[in-house]
């Protein structure tokens, strides 16, 4: 029976951050169980989970949520958090446990916190230390580690088989986008859904190569009175940002499917403010 003791011994329990929230009512909980109402759409006056909130962002709503990113203690981390193109040297990358990342049992990079770990157990340790906080989207009860273990969507196998310039993760760009930049580097762009801070061993191998980020899924850095009310992606900023220098963001492609916009064909958001039937949120 020793194998049972070993199995039970690995089932560590993580106390969740206390939430006074109910399970999300706007999706089938049988298909996506235990997601809680972590976001609130002020435009529609409704609470919902992070997953159901995405269409509201896409249609210009004001959605309040908390980006769970750590303190920006160095310039590289600050650039990475604001969505700047960041190179990560993966061939000599170390896991948070100190072992070579490429020699691990399950070498992955979490698109929620950005940490590279060589095994599931190593990422569990980061989660235990509240460095990865993706679990806060789930039921506000104590949960077994193995049931909620980050969003480890960048796999070493995908990097190895990818060609230069090819994507190496199929996770939502709202979390992170990654592609193979060279034979020794992958390029990362962090989205507005940020749940924690990369382990220091990962940060050491990061190199920000973009002074002015252009990634449209990044967290809006504007500090105007309206933008600071609720963190949001850059593509959701054009309808209410008060900062004139951010008006250039209106060049982002229009996503509307109203009849006026469909007849207009491909166009920028700034080209449909007067004809679009979708109201501009103020």
> Taking a C-beta distance cutoff of 8 angstroms, is the pair 206, 76 a contact?
yes
Least reliable range by pLDDT among 199-213, 224-238, 262-276: 262-276
pLDDT band at 81 (very low <50, low <70, confident <90, very high): very high
Lowest mean pLDDT: which of 60-69, 85-94, 99-108, 202-211? 60-69
Least confident window among 41-55, 63-77, 196-210, 240-254 = 240-254
Average pLDDT along the chain: 80
Chain centroid to Cα 57, Å, comes to 14
d(CA 279, CA 282): 9
**Residue 183 and residue 236 in one domain:** no
Q: At residue 114, does pLDDT exceed 90?
A: yes
Tokens 């193995």 -> residue: 146
Residues 203 and 244 in one domain: no
Confidence tier at 248 by pLDDT (50, 70, 90)? very low
> 277 and 179 share a domain?
no
Specify the 3-state DSSP secondary structure of 186.
strand
Average pLDDT score over residue span 161-181: 92
Q: Are residues 115 and 95 in the same domain?
A: yes
Report the share of the chain in percent with pLDDT over 70.
Answer: 74
Handedness of CA 244, 216, 182, 122 (dihedral sign): positive
The residue range of the domain holding 243 is 220-282
Helix residue ranges per DSSP H, the chain: 2-10, 50-58, 75-81, 120-128, 156-161, 200-203, 259-264
The number of domains in the chain is 2
260, 228: one domain: yes
For residues 193 and 172, the answer to whether their CB atoms sit within 8 Å is: yes
Residue-wise DSSP of 193-251? --BB---HHHHTTEEE--SS---TTSBP---STTGGGS--BGGG-TTT---GGGGGGGG
| 37 in any annotated domain | no
Can you tell me the mean pLDDT for 3-15?
44
CA 248 to chain centre: 24
Same-domain status, 146 and 115: yes
Q: What is the mean pLDDT of residues 65-84?
A: 87
pLDDT mean over 126-154: 80
CB of 163 within 8 A of CB of 178?
no
Distance from C-alpha of 196 to C-alpha of 180, rounded to nearest angstrom = 23
Do residue 200 and residue 81 come from a single domain? yes
């Amino acid at each position: 029976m020793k194998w049972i003791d070993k199995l039970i011994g690995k089932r560590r329990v993580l106390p969740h951050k206390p939430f006074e929230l109910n399970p999300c009512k706007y999706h089938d909980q049988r298909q996506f169980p235990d997601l809680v109402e972590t976001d609130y759409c002020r435009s529609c006056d409704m609470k919902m989970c992070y997953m159901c909130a995405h269409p509201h962002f896409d249609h210009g709503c004001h959605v309040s949520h908390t980006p769970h990113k750590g303190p920006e203690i160095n310039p590289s981390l600050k650039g990475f958090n604001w969505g700047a193109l960041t190179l990560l040297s993966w061939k000599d990358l170390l896991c948070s446990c100190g072992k070579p990342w490429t020699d691990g049992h399950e070498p992955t990079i979490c698109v929620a916190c950005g940490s590279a770990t060589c095994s599931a157990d190593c990422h569990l340790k980061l989660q235990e230390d509240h460095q990865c906080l993706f679990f806060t989207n789930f039921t506000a009860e104590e949960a077994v580690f193995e049931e909620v273990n980050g969003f480890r969507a960048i796999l070493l196998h995908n990097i190895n088989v990818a060609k230069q310039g090819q994507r190496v993760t199929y996770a939502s760009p709202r979390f992170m986008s990654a592609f193979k930049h060279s034979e020794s580097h992958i390029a990362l762009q962090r989205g507005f859904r940020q749940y924690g801070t990369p382990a220091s061993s990962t940060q050491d191998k990061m190199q920000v190569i973009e002074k002015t980020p252009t990634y449209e899924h990044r967290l809006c850095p504007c500090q105007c009175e309206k933008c600071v009310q609720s963190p949001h992606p850059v593509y959701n900023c054009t309808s209410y940002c008060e900062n004139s220098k951010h008006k250039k963001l209106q060049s982002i492609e229009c996503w509307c499917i109203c009849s006026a916009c469909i007849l207009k064909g491909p166009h920028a958001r700034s080209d449909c403010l007067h004809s679009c039937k979708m109201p501009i949120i103020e």
